[in-house]
Structure 1
Amino acid sequence: MTNNTIQLPLLPLRGLLVFPSMVLHLDVGRDKSVTALEKAMMDDQTIFLAAQKKVSIDDPEPADIYRIGTVAKVNQMLKLPNGTIRVLVEGLYRGEILHFIDEKEEFNVEIEKLADINGETNEEDALMRSLLTQFEQYSKVSRKITQETFATVQDIEEPGRLADIIASHLSLKIKDKQEILEIVNVKSRMQHLIKLISNEKKVLDLEKKIGQRVKTSMEKTQKEYYLREQLKAIQNELGEKDGKSSEVEQLREKVSESDMPERIMEVALKELGRYEKVPQSSAESSVIRNYVEWLLALPWTKKTNDTIEINKAQTILDQDHYGLDKVKERILEYLAVQKLTKSIKGPILCLVGPPGVGKTSLAKSIARSINRNFVRISLGGVRDEAEIRGHRRTYIGAMPGRIIQGMKKAKTVNPVFLLDEIDKMSNDFRGDPSSAMLEVLDPEQNNNFSDHFIEETYDLSSVLFIATANYVNNIPGPLLDRMELISIAGYTEIEKLHIAKEHLLPKQLKENGLKKGDLQIRDNALLKLIRRYTREAGVRGLERQLATLCRKAAKTIISEDKKRVIVTEKSIEELLGKPLFRYGLMESEDQIGAATGLAYTAAGGDTLSIEVSHYPGKGKLTLTGKLGDVMKESAQAAFSYIRSRAEELHIDPDFHEKYDIHIHVPEGATPKDGPSAGITMATALVSALSGRAVKKEVGMTGEITLRGRVLPIGGLKEKSLSAHRAGITTIIIPEENEKDTEDIPESVRNDLTFIKVNHLDQVLKHALVEENYESN
């Protein structure tokens, strides 16, 4: 060891560097550092201070410590309550570590003193002035340097000490300060420092410009924005997140946890990115949020597990609906095919029938029987294509179409989706919604259904669509082509009787607060209620009348303190008033010029009396009774046939020149039309012109041709029930309708005699009385 080298304890500094002539406080807490400090205090209070290369290292090795540091004197030491020692040190001069003597309990190093190397006095003076000028300009820009600090620095005359003191006041990185500390040549040290100050000053000037620009921008911003920024700052100070940021974060979390496909998730996240940037007050902000919420609300993959069990489905259908055997059979066939193919692709079912026959409740039963969610939308009166496909998001108040809205309500991708009243859609200048429905109902296309609001394609291929309609003729052809029709004609009296007893009456008793035994309605009273107080294909009117009876019974039980109300055929008029409707009855005796036909209406079957009278004239044929074109043509066809066969029918061949003929169908206020009255008109005409009476117990139905052939008709079941109700025992039907007799209830079929005919001669043979020929 020479005079220029000494051994001293080493105190490594983290994030800190001490220059010569610099006085500052240090907090010492590491074991090695404390030991080194105590050793220094026991000697001459001198210690070597060197900075660590990395602040994060808690137990540094020799390689982690810079070789050049500062020899300092410990002027004061104070132990703090937390165990840390606070010391006041004063930098003396530079030193360089030659080697480490001990590094186990504390660092002891041998150092070499480094003295400043001075140059030419005039050049150093010039550099000092330049350095002070730079530092003065820096102090004006920087808020950390006070005027008192600059005044203190200005009084320093030694160039090396001036450079060190100025370097200690600069906001430099430890690495930069270490570079200055390692420069022993005073001239080079000042030059390097001037360069650093110049760069720092440029950075500060740039920061000032940016701050000024932000300030100018803030001055131009609306007051609302300024207040919002203040609110944001307050929320940050309180530890609360900004409202919109928090909202975006929550939405992002929901999107990532949702069942969206990857392509939809990318769209949602992209829109959320836009939403975050758009100001809260912007109209587009609410549009984007609404769009993302719709994407989150829609089911993308969630589905219920189908449990297609035919026996269970049949049980549920039988529980919910009485009768409709053919309809139930077709539905069960449909479900059986779905189970075998494990695919929903196939014809779309369309339940067609008058109001009140149970089309909607059938669809609900189907959903219940296969364990699917049920959703219904009504298409009645829809005339805007956007109702189906949705609105573009550019419009105010835009929203998805009814199909997507229905899927949101369904909450699964495979519901039973009822399209109610599909025949009542219309079109105008806003588009054709029925054309938009083509994509929905086509199994080959609906896996990529496009809604204008959602924009991304949506898969409808797992949805079981069921449509309902009142009239097939109102459904557009292309739409009808995609559906399989299941006709629900209506209920017979017997079916209505069972429905009333098993379904409607228990329901109304419950809704009106009555128990099972509180109200009893006899079967004959129920039949009278069905016949005389309702005229409909369904059972809505019947249910309303039963509700009236329940209310009457409730009032009687409360006001008169009765335990039970029994409704009979006689007492029903006291409760409901005079009958609202009448029905045709069989004639009491054989009639000349009057025949009983059987009609089929939307409200079921009915009997139709057709009357013919003739009087002297010139062969004019008069038709009355508000007849439709088809019925008028049937009368003309019958008239022409009789003229061609007059002699064989024992009718005066010149009757068309001697008599005017009047055909009338009673109840003239009710419109009537259809071809099935043809043989009835012909029979009444022959009876009137030949003088032969028509048998009172005979009813008939069938279309007639000019050659006298009898063609098949529809609605035989309903017509037969109306004949049975009227007391008719014999029904003349077209031969081709023989197969339809199987649909007639057995109890009715056993009471009726069916005569199958294919020509008018056979009709007359069975309908007219054999005797009583009269010449005309």
Structure 2
Amino acid sequence: MTDTTIKQIPLLPLRGLLVYPSMVMHLDVGRDKSVNAIENAMVEDNIIFLTAQKEVSVDEPTTDDIYTIGTVAKIKQMLKLPNGTIRILVEGLYRGKIDEHIEDDEYFKVKFNEVEEEHGDQNEEEALMRNLLEQFEQYIKVSKKISDETLASVKDIDVPGRLADIVTSHLSLKIKDKQEVLEIANVPDRLKHIIELINNEKEVVHLEKKIGQQVKKSMERTQKEYYLREQMKAIQKELGEKDGKSGEIAELKERIENANMPERIEAVAYKELDRYEKIPSSSAESSVIRNYIEWLVVLPWTEETVDNLDIPHAEQILNEDHYGLDKVKERILEYLAVQKLTESIKGPILCLVGPPGVGKTSLAKSIARSMDRNFVRASLGGVRDEAEIRGHRRTYVGAMPGRIIQGMKKAETVNPVFLLDEIDKMASDFRGDPSSAMLEVLDPEQNSNFSDHFIEETYDLSNVMFVATANNMATIPGPLLDRMEVITIAGYTEVEKLHIAKEHLLPKQIKENGLKKSQLQVREDALLKLVRQYTREAGVRGLERELAAVCRKAAKILVSEDKKRVVVTEKKLETLLGRPKYRYGQAEKENQVGTATGLAYTSAGGDTLSIEVSLYPGKGKLTLTGKLGDVMKESAQAAFSYIRSRAEELQIDPEFPDKNDIHIHVPEGATPKDGPSAGITMATALVSALTGRPVRKEVGMTGEITLRGRVLPIGGLKEKSLSAHRAGLTTVIMPADNEKDLEDIPESVRDSLTYIPVHHLDEVLDKALVEEK
């Protein structure tokens, strides 16, 4: 670098360009200051200082916006263009460094020093030149952006510094990188730097080519797929298949967006949709994935109904639909009241246990109606396979979700009333234990994360109100029973059956058989006979069938005999339905020796049971007939043993077993009978036969007996009381421990019967046998 300071010359800032010494280049100049700088240079000696701007985007650069080292150039030509700009041809002379900026509003002026090149060892420079040319030639072959003529002209240059500058000017470098080359005064260092830049550029070009090939392949594949899809659309259009798979995918995507799924479920759905799109329609897995997405879309994830928590409204609906069943109704109203106070409660799991036809299923529908919830029913009778509850895994052919998820799909909300019908009828075999699978469904602590094998993702059942029904509580597994709140529906009384027949069943059958209320009248005495002698059941299903038969017979009479009205009386009933199918127990007309009236509890409700004892000469043999079960036979043996042990106190000949055989018979021998509650009845009949004291005709009794004569509690007191009332009995002897059950008995029945609670058989005999004269 010399110390000779050249006079001040104009400066031309360049945007996005850089001129090296020995380069000849055209420049278009449009900025006012730049135009003034060129005009002043032309007036003087055509010398101008060219330097690059640091930032291309700056329109009005200052001294801080331009590089200090640039190129001193000579303006060879100048041409003014029609649009107001000036085109000049410049030739770079040598490197220069700005020493001082001179203030001038019209254009930039600078004082500068010439930067002289520093040379090294001549052989080293020669070797570097050869290496540079070799690398540049390779770069040209790879990039194919520079012509062979340019390479030939570059090869003719034998000045190391000039060669470095010319090669750099042909490289696709950033202005910052080109400026670094311009600022290197040492020629060997400049050559080495340029060789390094060329190597980097070669790598970049290789990467560009590789990416370009990949993009080209991708584009070719995309174009191929597009072409094939268009062909497929055309084929499907000819075949009459609207839109084909692409239409399905668009439809499924829209349905997923509108399904209001949780984020995790939505992510699974989109992932499966992506798989479905890639798999050919002919693949077996395609239909499996489609089916899975369909299930995810149709299941309710957030939709729910708003509970109607108006207690009087719910009570009104429950009373409209069902007569009686006070305990169940009370439990539903309690649930609504608690929910209204807490505003959030897990759905209760009720289990209604009772004989067929007592209204368990219809009660669940009424619960849903009273709460304004959707209702869905799943029948579990005969279910043996665990997959029926939890679903099949998707690897199996024809896999489907279990009945719980299927029910939720039908419900369309997350908080329906879900009826699990006949839960006691589930069975187990080699395919699994469905009752164990139900444990997760019916556990309030677990069912918020119910897992179905088909859906795989967890599903929340905690808002569902489950109502299960069963005929026999004994066949429900203990762990499953523990998760449910059991409400027993024993059956309907005669009074309740009459009310149900008048208010619900008869109007329904009149309507279903095309009659009008004015065309058919069934009197109360006919209804009572229908209940007593044409049906024997705890529920009202058989009663409804008989009423339907009455309506059909009436319809035939109205049509064939051209009558306007049919009145059904007790006598008319036999004409329509034939002779009665059943007889009901009735009180004895007179006091009988050796005959006692017991009260029995059957699946059809309560009934009276006449127990007869006969003595004849023999050696103490005890004969039992009437198709008795083991428990009933043992009760007879216990009563017999007790009487033998207390013979003297009961004023019975102690040697009676040595003189007599005893025969105990229970009529209706074709009907199986079992249970412990006939114990005191058998004992009373035995004592009556052995002492000759008659049994009071108006007394019915029930209770289990022990060898010491204690009377133990029994079940079904309500039904037994109803049968006593129906049979015309006025007094019921019962175990003292059953006094708590009296409140369950209808008031009309309770008031017409006299209840005698007893602890011991002596008390029974005292009340049941006629006093000796």
* Correspondence for 1:7 among 10, 27, 31: 10
Q: How far did 1:200 drift?
A: 1.8
* Correspondence for 1:33 among 18, 31, 34: 31
Structure-2 change in CA distance of 1:509 and 1:229 (3 Å)? farther
Q: Distance in 2 between matches of 1:639 and 1:598?
A: 20
Does the Cα contact within 8 Å between 2:272 and 2:293 map onto a contact in 1? Answer: no
Q: Distance in 2 between matches of 1:75 and 1:581?
A: 128
**1:93 aligned partner:** 92
Q: Distance in 2 between matches of 1:571 and 1:411?
A: 50
Q: Distance in 2 between matches of 1:666 and 1:41?
A: 139
**2:663 aligned partner:** 662
User: Is residue 716 from structure 1 mapped to residue 717 from structure 2 by the alignment?
Assistant: yes
2:92 is matched by which residue type in structure 1?
Y
User: Is residue 199 from structure 1 mapped to residue 195 from structure 2 by the alignment?
Assistant: no
Q: How many residues align?
A: 739
Q: How far did 1:175 drift?
A: 1.8
Q: Distance in 1 between matches of 2:508 and 2:92?
A: 105
2:610 is matched by which residue type in structure 1?
S
Q: Distance in 1 between matches of 2:382 and 2:618?
A: 53
Q: Distance in 2 between matches of 1:43 and 1:88?
A: 14
Q: How far did 1:126 drift?
A: 6.5
Alignment of 1:31-430 (within 5 A): 33=31, 51-57=52-58, 60-67=61-68, 68=70, 77=81, 90-93=89-92, 98=98, 108=108, 129-147=130-148, 150=151, 163=164, 166-182=167-183, 190-205=191-206, 231=225, 314-329=315-330, 332=333, 350-360=351-361, 362=363, 421-424=422-425
- Unaligned ranges ≥5, structure 1: 80-84, 220-224, 236-241
Q: Distance in 2 between matches of 1:763 and 1:126?
A: 134
Q: TM-score, normalised on structure 1?
A: 0.71
Q: Distance in 1 between matches of 2:508 and 2:61?
A: 88
Structure-2 change in CA distance of 1:278 and 1:340 (3 Å)? closer
Alignment of 1:13-28 (within 5 A): 13-14=15-16, 17=18, 21=23
Q: How far did 1:234 drift?
A: 10
**1:539 aligned partner:** 540
CA-atom RMSD, angstroms? 6.1
Q: How far did 1:374 drift?
A: 6.7
Q: How far did 1:672 drift?
A: 1.0
1:171 is matched by which residue type in structure 2?
S
Q: TM-score, normalised on structure 2?
A: 0.71
**1:496 aligned partner:** 497
Structure-2 change in CA distance of 1:643 and 1:54 (3 Å)? same
Does the Cα contact within 8 Å between 1:404 and 1:451 map onto a contact in 2? Answer: no
Does the Cα contact within 8 Å between 1:71 and 1:91 map onto a contact in 2? Answer: yes
Structure-2 change in CA distance of 1:525 and 1:51 (3 Å)? farther
Q: How far did 1:432 drift?
A: 6.1
Q: How far did 1:381 drift?
A: 5.6
**2:234 aligned partner:** none
* Other structure's SS at 1:635 match: helix
CA displacement, residues 743-768 of structure 1 (integer Å, 9 cap, x when unaligned): 33333344445455555566556656
Does the Cα contact within 8 Å between 1:93 and 1:113 map onto a contact in 2? Answer: no
1:7 is matched by which residue type in structure 2?
P
Does the Cα contact within 8 Å between 1:13 and 1:50 map onto a contact in 2? Answer: no
- Unaligned ranges ≥5, structure 2: 230-245
Does the Cα contact within 8 Å between 1:271 and 1:288 map onto a contact in 2? Answer: no
Q: How far did 1:600 drift?
A: 0.9
Alignment of 1:722-761 (within 5 A): 722-738=723-739, 740-755=741-756, 760=761
Q: Distance in 2 between matches of 1:438 and 1:470?
A: 19
Q: How far did 1:606 drift?
A: 1.5
Does the Cα contact within 8 Å between 2:10 and 2:37 map onto a contact in 1? Answer: no
Q: Distance in 1 between matches of 2:288 and 2:587?
A: 72
* Other structure's SS at 2:54 match: coil
Structure-2 change in CA distance of 1:76 and 1:177 (3 Å)? farther
Identity %: 64
* Other structure's SS at 2:137 match: helix
Q: Distance in 2 between matches of 1:569 and 1:234?
A: 83
**1:597 aligned partner:** 598
* Other structure's SS at 1:133 match: helix
Q: How far did 1:540 drift?
A: 3.8
Alignment of 1:460-499 (within 5 A): 468-477=469-478, 480=481, 484-499=485-500
Does the Cα contact within 8 Å between 2:380 and 2:423 map onto a contact in 1? Answer: yes
Q: How far did 1:96 drift?
A: 6.1
1:622 is matched by which residue type in structure 2?
T
Q: How far did 1:680 drift?
A: 3.0
* Other structure's SS at 2:31 match: helix
1:726 is matched by which residue type in structure 2?
A
* Other structure's SS at 1:747 match: helix
Q: Distance in 2 between matches of 1:412 and 1:469?
A: 26
Q: Distance in 1 between matches of 2:74 and 2:558?
A: 113
**1:629 aligned partner:** 630
Structure-2 change in CA distance of 1:335 and 1:171 (3 Å)? same
Does the Cα contact within 8 Å between 1:21 and 1:161 map onto a contact in 2? Answer: no
* Other structure's SS at 1:661 match: strand
Q: Distance in 2 between matches of 1:484 and 1:49?
A: 96
Does the Cα contact within 8 Å between 1:258 and 1:296 map onto a contact in 2? Answer: no
Q: How far did 1:627 drift?
A: 1.1
* Other structure's SS at 1:663 match: strand
Does the Cα contact within 8 Å between 1:248 and 1:272 map onto a contact in 2? Answer: no
* Other structure's SS at 1:599 match: strand
CA displacement, residues 469-507 of structure 1 (integer Å, 9 cap, x when unaligned): 433333444555565543221221222232344344556
Q: How far did 1:673 drift?
A: 0.8
